């Protein structure tokens, strides 16, 4: 499972080919970004924490029967994963009003959503990842109605499993973003990452933010971010 050539590099991860045509190695960098990469800083050790947190969450989802790209963690910064062709859509799942939805609908952050809202965004840096709907996605040729319906069902399961998983760790899953890809047989797999970078996580009792949001809002320094991510990892590792 040695790395061969660099396949792609994103804001927080590098993806390497391996000698096996069906597997890649994902390397977690120390970058933390927001506002589509406009704010981009290095926090030493963050990649190690994110690799560990993601490995915990994807291992859990695998154990629930969700098909994910994750095969195994191979070292502090890297995972072995199934090689997929990514669908360029960000699926945002919301259990509480927050962030961009709060701004769009002018509803107070923290308001409970009783019917789980799923939104889709076209992953396109030049267009700044616009909010789209299923018709747009099909028109753009980036997905089909059938594929989207399959993904929405998977997402409902993921949300149910993760809500319970985090709640046991005294964490409320306010919202999160997921991405999917297809393998050589066109089977759909959960991919990318689920971590404090891509979720809003709140302490069940104090409502303290256990995610990237305070960084986005310039409310905390790098050391505090590391402390928060470490706290999340410690909670996930606790039985």
The binding site for ligand TMP (CB under 6 A) comprises 90, 92, 98-101, 129, 175-177, 198-200
Q: How far is the CB of 230 from ligand TMP (least distance, A)?
A: 19
Angstrom distance (rounded) from CA 80 to CA 98 = 33
Q: Which residue has the closest beta carbon to ligand TMP?
A: 99
Which residues have C-beta within 8 Å of that of residue 200, sequence separation ≥ 6? 96, 98, 99, 173, 174, 175, 176, 209, 211, 213
Look at strands 131-132 and 78-82 and give their pairing.
unpaired
Angstrom distance (rounded) from CA 220 to CA 88 = 31
Nearest residue (CB) to ligand TMP, 33 versus 183: 33
CB distance 39 to 11 below 8 Å: no
Nearest residue (CB) to ligand TMP, 18 versus 57: 57
Nearest residue (CB) to ligand TMP, 30 versus 90: 90
Q: How far is the CB of 36 from ligand TMP (least distance, A)?
A: 7
Torsion angles phi and psi, residue 199, rounded to 5: -130, 160
Nearest residue (CB) to ligand TMP, 68 versus 198: 198
Q: How far is the CB of 175 from ligand TMP (least distance, A)?
A: 4
Angstrom distance (rounded) from CA 162 to CA 173 = 8
CB distance 90 to 121 below 8 Å: yes
Q: How far is the CB of 104 from ligand TMP (least distance, A)?
A: 9
Q: Residue 152: how many CA atoms within 13 Å on its side-chain side?
A: 14
Nearest residue (CB) to ligand TMP, 23 versus 30: 30
Nearest residue (CB) to ligand TMP, 74 versus 86: 86
Q: How far is the CB of 195 from ligand TMP (least distance, A)?
A: 9
Torsion angles phi and psi, residue 170, rounded to 5: 60, 35
Q: How far is the CB of 168 from ligand TMP (least distance, A)?
A: 20
């Amino acid at each position: 499972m040695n790395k061969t050539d660099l396949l792609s590099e994103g804001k927080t991860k590098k993806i390497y080919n391996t000698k096996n045509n069906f597997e890649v190695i994902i390397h977690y960098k120390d970058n933390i970004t927001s506002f589509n990469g406009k704010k981009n800083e290095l926090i030493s050790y963050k990649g190690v924490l994110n690799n560990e947190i993601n490995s915990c969450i994807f291992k859990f989802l695998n154990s629930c029967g969700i098909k994910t790209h994750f095969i195994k963690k191979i070292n502090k910064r890297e995972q072995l994963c199934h090689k997929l062709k990514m669908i360029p859509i960000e699926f945002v799942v919301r259990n509480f009003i927050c962030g961009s939805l709060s701004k769009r609908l002018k509803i107070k952050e923290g308001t409970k959503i009783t019917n789980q809202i799923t939104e889709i965004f076209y992953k396109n840096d030049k267009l700044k990842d616009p909010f789209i709907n299923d018709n747009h996605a099909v028109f753009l040729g980036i997905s089909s109605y059938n594929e989207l319906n399959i993904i929405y069902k998977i997402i409902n399961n993921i949300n149910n499993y993760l809500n319970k998983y985090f709640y046991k760790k005294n964490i409320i899953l306010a919202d999160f973003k997921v991405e999917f890809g297809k393998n050589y047989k066109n089977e759909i797999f959960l991919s990318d990452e689920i971590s404090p970078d891509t979720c809003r996580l709140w302490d069940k009792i104090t409502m303290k933010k256990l995610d990237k949001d305070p960084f986005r809002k310039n409310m905390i320094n790098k050391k505090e971010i590391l402390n928060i991510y470490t706290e999340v990892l410690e909670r996930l590792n606790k039985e």
